[in-house]
């Protein structure tokens, strides 16, 4: 029984966190569509919500295009 919790509890926790983040991103995207943000603000938003590997790619792209 302990093994069951060890496997499923972190998974459920991760899924619920992913769900909350997804919901927040969804609302933020709707908000962005309404507010007409500048390209720089959109890039900053993407940087905040994206996972680490993606952040590194965005960071690299940001500084190689300057």
Q: Are 31 and 20 members of one domain? A: yes
64 is in which domain, residue-wise?
A: 36-66
pLDDT at 2 over 60: no
pLDDT tier for residue 66 given thresholds of 50, 70 and 90: very low
* Domains held by the chain: number: 2
Alpha carbons within 13 angstroms on the beta-carbon side of residue 44 total 6
Q: Are 60 and 49 members of one domain? A: yes
Q: Are 2 and 29 members of one domain? A: yes
Q: Are 43 and 60 members of one domain? A: yes
Over residues 15-63, the pLDDT tens digits come to 666 666 666 666 666 665 666 666 666 666 666 666 656 666 666 665 5
**Separation of alpha carbons 56 and 47, rounded Å:** 9
């Amino acid at each position: 029984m302990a093994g069951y919790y060890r496997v499923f509890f972190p998974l459920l926790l991760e899924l619920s966190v992913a769900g909350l983040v997804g919901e927040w991103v969804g609302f933020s995207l709707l908000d962005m569509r309404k507010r007409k943000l500048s390209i720089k603000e959109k890039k900053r938003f993407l940087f905040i919500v994206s996972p680490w590997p993606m952040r590194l790619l965005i960071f690299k792209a940001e500084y190689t295009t300057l």
